[in-house]
A and B are shown apart, each in its own frame.
Chain A
Amino acid sequence: MLKFQQVSKNYADVKAVDSVSFELKVGEMFGLVGPNGSGKSTLLKIMLGIIRPTAGELLVNGERLSEKGWQSFRKTIGFMPERISFYDNLTGSETLTLFARIKGGSVNNISDILDKLLTRGVLDRRVGGYSKGMRQRLNLAQALLNTPSLLILDEPTSGLDPIGTRELYDIIDNVRQKRPLTVVLSSHILAEIEEKVTRVGVMKSGVLKACGTLDELYEGLNLPLKLYITIKDKDVRLEEILKRDGAVDITCSNGHLMADLPREHKFKVLSSILEHKNLFVDFSVREPNLEEVFFGIH
C-alpha cells in the first residue's frame, strides 16, 4: 500500500527522519513505537502526505503522487490525531456533520458503530462538556467518517480507561472484520502495540532501528530469553550453576530467581536446570516482550 524508500526529512540541520525504508501491507496492523522526538510524528505526517520528504520516495500503491494525488489519496485515509479539541460550542453530532462535509464523508457511514462509541445523549451535548475519553471516542468516529482503507491512529487510547481502551479496539477490530482496513498504530503503550499489531517499527533519533513481526524483532536483536525459577528453601546453589553456564543479570529475592538467558547458552542452562530438579519448585522461560525490545534498542 505505502512503500517508504530511503525516506528522509530534514528541518534545517536536524534530521527528523533518516533514510527510512519499509512497506505497509494492505490489511495489516502496523505499530510504530519510539520515544518522544524519535521521528514518529514526522513519519506519520509524511504518510498522510502533509509534508514531503527531503530525500527518498514514498510510493502509494506503486506510484509517486502529486499534490492533487495526495489530496485524492487522503479521501481514503482516516486520521485520529493524538490531541484534538474540536469546537466547544458544537454538539458531537454537529461536529461529525461538519467533519463529514470537510472530508467528503457522511455520518451514515458510521451509523452501525456510532452508538457503540457515543450514546445519542452524549452526541446531543456540546463538546465543551466532554471528558477526555469522550473526545477520544469522537476522534475515532471522525476518523472513520470517510470509510477509510488506511486508518492512522496516533496515541488513540490516551485519556481512556481500560474499559474504554478495550471498547475502542473492539470497534476497530469490528470494522476490520467487515472490510480490509490497514491500520497504523503509534503508541507509547507498548503492551497495547504488542497485543494488537502484526508488525512493528521501532524508531530512534529519526532512524527506523528495527522493523518486522515481534518474533523477527526478538530474533534479529538477539535479545536474551527471560528465565524465572522458584527455588526450594532459598537454596542459592542454582544461582551458582546458572552463573557458571552463562546466564546473566541474575537476581534472587524471596525464593524467586530471575535471569537473562543468552540464546547461545539456552540448551546448556536448561539442561543444567533439569539435572537439578531437587533445587527448584517450578521454572519458566519466555521471549522478551516489546518493552524489553524497546529498551534493548534504546
Chain B
Amino acid sequence: MVFTDAMKAIAHKEVSDKLKSKWVGVITVGFALFTIIIAYFGTATSGVASFRNMEATIASLTSLVIYFIPLLALTLGGGVIADERDRHNLEFYLASPISVTEFITGKFIGLAIALTLPAVFGFGLSGIVLVAKTGLGSAGSFLIFVVNSVILGIIFLSISFLVSVVFYERSKVIAFTIFLWLFFTILYDMGLVGVLVVTKGILSPKIFSFLLMLNPVDVYRIINFLTIGKYMIFLGMSSVDLPSFIKAPVLWGICLLWIVIPLMSSYYFFKKRYLE
C-alpha cells in the first residue's frame, strides 16, 4: 500500500498532537525512571541496592510492562473514531477524496509512532545507563525487549481501533477498553490456570501453548522469556514446558496477526457502520 500524502498528513497530526500535549514526553520520562528504579532497587529485598544484571531487569520490566503498555495503547486508540465523530470532523473525512484505508491507516501509523517514541527513548536512554553499568554483553537482549514492548503496544493499539469502531458511544468504548485490559492482563491467565486445575492436567502442552497464543500479553511474555532464558522464573512461567515449534519468529508472526486482524476488522466495521 502506498503511503499517500493524505495518510502522512493524518499521521503527522496525530504525532504532533501527542508531542504538543506532552503525552510523549511524560511517558518517555516515566519509562526511563521506571527502568532505572527497577534496575537499581530490584535487589533491595536482599538488602543491597545496586544495578542488577540485564536479564533480571528485563524480567522485572516485562512483568510491569504487560500492564502499562496495553493500558496506554488502549486509551490512546480507544477514542480515535469516537472523538472525530463527536467533534463532527468525521463527516469531513468521509466526504474527502480519501479511502477508509487511508483514513484509518493514517491514524494508526500516527498513534503507533506516538506510542513507539516513549518506548524507544524512555527504555533506550535507561538502557544506555544499564549497559554502561552492567556491560555491553546483554545489550542485545534489552534491545529485543524494547522491540517486543513496541510490538505489544502496537497490538493493543490495533485492538483499540477495533473497539473504537465497533462501539458507537464513548462511554461504551471506555468500559469495553477497561474490560479488555483486565481480560488480557489478568482474567485470561487466571481462567487458563483455573481450567488447568479443574481438568487436572488433561490439557496437553500443545493445547495449553496454543491457548497462550490467543493472548498477546502471553505471547509477549514468552518472547521475552525466550530471550532471557534462565530468568524465566521472574515471569512466573518456569513450569511451562513450551513445545519446540514455539520460537521467536513464530511468535513475531503471531504478533503480526494480532496487529493485522483487528486493524482489518476495523476497516470492515467502519465501512459497515459509516458507509452503508
CB-CB under 8 A from B97, the residues of chain A are: 71-75, 103-104, 146
Docked CA distance A142–B13 (Å): 17
A51 CB within 8 Å of chain B: yes
A226 CB within 8 Å of chain B: no
Of the listed stretches A82-90, A111-119, A159-167, A186-194, chain B binds A82-90
B275: shortest Cβ distance to chain A, in Å?
A: 6
A50 CB within 8 Å of chain B: yes
A242 CB within 8 Å of chain B: no
CB-CB under 8 A from B9, the residues of chain A are: 98, 101-102
A86/B276 in contact, CB under 8 A: no
Total contacts A to B, CB within 8 angstroms?
Answer: 70
Closest residue of B by beta carbon distance from A102 = B6
Given A72-B97, A102-B96, decide whether A85 and B89 contact each other with a Cβ distance below 8 A: yes
Given A52-B276, A71-B99, decide whether A104 and B92 contact each other with a Cβ distance below 8 A: no
Closest residue of A by beta carbon distance from B94 = A50
**Proximity bits, A59-89, B CB within 8 Å = 1, else 0:** 0000000010001111101010111111101
A103/B275 in contact, CB under 8 A: no
CB-CB under 8 A from A50, the residues of chain B are: 94-95, 274-275
B99/A84 in contact, CB under 8 A: no
B197 CB within 8 Å of chain A: no
Say which residue of A45, A81, A89, A146 sits within 8 Å of B92 (CB atoms): A81
B91/A102 in contact, CB under 8 A: no
Docked CA distance A48–B275 (Å): 11
Given A71-B97, A103-B97, decide whether A98 and B13 contact each other with a Cβ distance below 8 A: yes
B87: shortest Cβ distance to chain A, in Å?
A: 4
Residues in B5-39 with C-beta less than 8 Å from chain A: 5-6, 8-10, 13, 17, 20-21
B95/A85 in contact, CB under 8 A: no
Docked CA distance A171–B91 (Å): 23
Chain B interface mostly helix, strand, loop or mixed? helix
Closest residue of B by beta carbon distance from A101 = B9
Say which residue of A75, A77, A101, A142 sits within 8 Å of B5 (CB atoms): A101
CB-CB under 8 A from B136, the residues of chain A are: none
A84/B91 in contact, CB under 8 A: yes
Docked CA distance A74–B6 (Å): 14
B95/A81 in contact, CB under 8 A: yes
CB-CB under 8 A from A48, the residues of chain B are: 94-95
Docked CA distance A85–B5 (Å): 23
Docked CA distance A82–B91 (Å): 9
Residue in B5, B8, B89, B95 whose Cβ sees the most chain A Cβ within 10 Å:
B95
Given A101-B5, A104-B6, decide whether A74 and B96 contact each other with a Cβ distance below 8 A: yes
B93/A102 in contact, CB under 8 A: yes
A103/B89 in contact, CB under 8 A: no
B88 CB within 8 Å of chain A: yes
CB-CB under 8 A from B5, the residues of chain A are: 101, 104
B87/A85 in contact, CB under 8 A: yes
**Proximity bits, A88-101, B CB within 8 Å = 1, else 0:** 01000000001101
CB-CB under 8 A from B276, the residues of chain A are: 51-52
CB-CB under 8 A from A101, the residues of chain B are: 5-6, 8-9
Docked CA distance A81–B20 (Å): 28
Given A51-B275, A52-B276, A101-B9, decide whether A85 and B96 contact each other with a Cβ distance below 8 A: no
A74/B92 in contact, CB under 8 A: no
CB-CB under 8 A from B275, the residues of chain A are: 50-52
B10/A102 in contact, CB under 8 A: yes
B28: shortest Cβ distance to chain A, in Å?
A: 20
Closest residue of B by beta carbon distance from A49 = B95
Residue in B9, B17, B20 whose Cβ sees the most chain A Cβ within 10 Å:
B9
Docked CA distance A47–B274 (Å): 15
Docked CA distance A77–B94 (Å): 12
B233 CB within 8 Å of chain A: no
Say which residue of B20, B91, B92, B274 sits within 8 Å of A99 (CB atoms): B92
B93/A74 in contact, CB under 8 A: no
A81/B6 in contact, CB under 8 A: no
A77/B95 in contact, CB under 8 A: yes
A84/B92 in contact, CB under 8 A: yes
Docked CA distance A48–B95 (Å): 6
B216: shortest Cβ distance to chain A, in Å?
A: 31
Docked CA distance A98–B106 (Å): 13
A-B pairs with lowest CB-CB distance, top 3: A101-B9, A85-B87, A79-B95
A-B contact pairs, 17 of them (CB 8 A): A50-B275, A51-B275, A52-B275, A52-B276, A67-B99, A71-B98, A74-B96, A74-B97, A79-B92, A81-B95, A84-B88, A84-B89, A85-B88, A101-B6, A101-B9, A104-B5, A104-B6
